Amino acid sequence: MYIKDNYKKLGFTSLSGPYEIGYDFRGIYEGKPVVVEAERLPKNFVEHKHNPKEVDILITLGEDDTDRSLLPQKIIKVDAEDFVKYTYEMRRAYAVKMKEKREEIDRILPSLAVWQRIKNAFATLYALLIDDTARGTGLEINYWTGGNSKNYRNSGGGSI
């Protein structure tokens, strides 16, 4: 969004995109048609296996020590301060949305936690029974329910 809305600050006379398929943008830079890719750092261009011969300009938020021969000839670094100011409201709205989602999860989590404990208990019990049956040994299970101790014994090969 930042690049599309601020293409003139970056030196473009026109810019279209971002595109879902292929490189991110096409535009006019210094009077010439160009293909543009945007990445957070130059190394991401290489990691994503982009071809520097197919891209005229790489726009990044930062710099790193990536071998320049693996990158397009022209690299434009976005002004970080301008980017932070531009994206402030979007980041703030995202933070509010995520807080609301966490609160919703916290409301339903207690019931999910109970089901998770039950599921884990049955998975552990099942694993113990299968392992016990495979060895042909007996299994004794003790557990507490409401303060009353219960005891079950599996003599090997049968179900409890």
Rounded alpha-carbon distances, angstroms, from residue 12 to 40, 73, 84, 140? 19, 16, 21, 75
The pLDDT tens digits for 51-110 are: 999 999 999 999 999 999 999 999 999 998 888 888 888 888 888 888 898 888 777 767
The pLDDT tens digits for 6-56 are: 999 999 999 999 998 889 999 999 999 999 999 999 999 999 999 999 999
Q: How many domains does the chain have?
A: 2
46 and 66 share a domain?
yes
10 and 69 share a domain?
yes
Give me the domain span that covers residue 24: 2-78
Chosen domain end from 35, 53, 78: 78
Cis peptide before 42 (omega within 30 of 0): no
74 and 8 share a domain?
yes
13 and 43 share a domain?
yes
